[in-house]
Structure 1
Amino acid sequence: MSTNELAGKVAIVTGSGRNIGRAIALALAEDGASIVVNSRSNKDEAKAVVREIETVGERALVHVGDIADPAAVQAMVDMAIAEFGRIDILVNNAALRREKPFAEMSYADWREVMNVILDGTFHCVKACLPHLKKSGAGTIVNIGGLSAHTGAPDRAHVVTAKAGIIGFTRALAHDLSPDGITVNCVVPGIIGTPRPKNTPEPAHHLIHRTITGERGKAEDVAAAVRFLCSPAARYVNGQAIHANGGAYFGG
């Protein structure tokens, strides 16, 4: 149900052409925000999300670019300002979820994941920061990962990068609070999103179980992000909020 709480606000959601990112973009648009839909390479997916947003009466635009590239990130921010005139919300959702045993992992494999999850988040925050400061009520929501809290086989790079996101969230909450910017992290549990054809189920999905025995939906994660972007959440800062159906209890 729309509350129109975010009317007049502008949000950038990285990796929002599908799955959790798409659900977040739609949830924020349903509350009145204009959205920058970012995709690493699939313009058609991003355009489809824009059309969905337009059907709820809000504005959106497509940005295709790799957040690991600071020039691409700056171009995305410049596009948002040129079209919408402001940025109030940044959701750092884009990530790579590779799997490979550590003994077989090359430094290039390691860096590929770090470049997107950690460096990409850094680039997005740096580029958006002047505009988030001007907002007066800026919001950053980083998307974490359950395996950063539990560990997982064949994911040393992803687990490490997502654990770094938690630390980055807590550090930024301190640094940016004087500018009226909140920084939080939403940690998805086992979410039933579509996987590429012939791609096996991640090993850590088979280890963890929810209390109900059911997997979450992308919309469950989006609901937590939506709350953190709302006026009611201004006192929530520096937190890692889990949306996992009871698959893990902890901070």
Structure 2
Amino acid sequence: MSSADSRPLAGKVALVTGSARRIGRESALLLAREGAHVVVHARSSREEIEAVAAEIRAGGGRATALLADITVEAEAQGLVDAILGETGRLDILVNNAAIRGEKPFTELDLAAFRAVYSVIVEGAFLVTRAAVPAMLKNGFGRIVTIGGVSAHSGVSHRVHVATAKAALVGFTKALAIEFGAQGITANIVVPGRIGGTRSRTSGAGGAFPGGGYLPVGHEGAPRNVAEIVRTLALPSGDFITGQTIHVNGGMYLP
């Protein structure tokens, strides 16, 4: 491994929300490998985020594990305040936290709809709003938000998820316009079918048009998505902003 000073994210601090497992975990590991001090986050999975942080440290990186319910304004702000108190900066934000689940539209009540929307959209808003002032102060920021293919292709039994993920596209474009001239980029990465063990909130993936046919012949892995997150987070990603980048093996073709 190259020395820390030669790694492109040396001296940067990254927060990856919902990074106990899968895409969040892989993103945290890859950003740490590039030299970032990574804050691993979950709402309640203390043991899992501590394990991810320990893995980063075992590889010679720097990591902090923090719990917060990012749907609560005070906790979202407190999460960022804790990072700034420890490190003095926050340069990269990966909005990955989400809950999903499946339910036929006629059985979907407002409470279930709001539960999903709150984590995916309001959580991203609250953490980003808390993080942006630190990015503006340093004249550098990378905001990478994890979207969902259901927002683009449509899907049965996941109206709440598709709606929330679609909102993230507008959120990202607005951030890109407002802060591009100040050194902050904002992009959304949209996974397709990603294999591996899913969390209890993920559901079975919904009924996508065409049955979710994959031209490449296999599901993706969390690392496939995390690699794009890493690319967008690098200093060299400064000319990519406001973009929706699909990582789906050809499942959905814009």
Q: TM-score, normalised by structure 2?
A: 0.94
Map of 2:218 onto structure 1: 214
Please tell me whether the aligned partners of residues 71 and 118 of structure 2 are also in contact (alpha carbons under 8 angstroms).
yes
Map of 1:142 onto structure 2: 145
1:35 equivalenced with 2:38 (yes/no) = yes
Which of 161, 164, 169 pairs up with 2:167?
A: 164
Q: How far off is 1:178 after superposition?
A: 2.5
Please tell me whether the aligned partners of residues 63 and 76 of structure 1 are also in contact (alpha carbons under 8 angstroms).
yes
1:227 equivalenced with 2:198 (yes/no) = no
Structure 1 gaps of 5+ residues are none
1:128 equivalenced with 2:99 (yes/no) = no
Letter in 2 for 1:203: G
Letter in 1 for 2:226: A
Map of 2:85 onto structure 1: 82
Taking the aligned partners of 2:83 and 2:45, their CA distance within structure 1 comes to 19
Taking the aligned partners of 2:101 and 2:203, their CA distance within structure 1 comes to 12
Say what the alpha-carbon RMSD is for the aligned residues.
1.6
Map of 1:189 onto structure 2: 192
Which of 206, 231, 234 pairs up with 1:203?
A: 206
Q: TM-score, normalised by structure 1?
A: 0.95
Please tell me whether the aligned partners of residues 137 and 181 of structure 1 are also in contact (alpha carbons under 8 angstroms).
yes
1:63 equivalenced with 2:58 (yes/no) = no
Q: How far off is 1:200 after superposition?
A: 6.3
Q: How far off is 1:56 after superposition?
A: 1.8
Taking the aligned partners of 1:204 and 1:143, their CA distance within structure 2 comes to 20
What is the percentage of aligned positions where both structures have the same residue?
47
Taking the aligned partners of 2:55 and 2:81, their CA distance within structure 1 comes to 23
Structure 2 gaps of 5+ residues are none
Report Cα offsets for 1:106-153 as digits up to 9, x if no partner. Answer: 110111011111100110111001101122221100100011100111
Q: How far off is 1:196 after superposition?
A: 5.1
Give runs of aligned pairs for residues 13-32 of structure 1, distance below 5 A: 13-32=16-35
Local SS of the residue matching 1:12: strand
Please tell me whether the aligned partners of residues 190 and 216 of structure 1 are also in contact (alpha carbons under 8 angstroms).
yes
Local SS of the residue matching 2:70: coil
Which of 230, 234, 242 pairs up with 2:246?
A: 242
1:113 equivalenced with 2:116 (yes/no) = yes
Local SS of the residue matching 2:143: strand
Regions of 4+ moved over 3 Å: none
Taking the aligned partners of 1:124 and 1:200, their CA distance within structure 2 comes to 25
Please tell me whether the aligned partners of residues 102 and 203 of structure 2 are also in contact (alpha carbons under 8 angstroms).
no
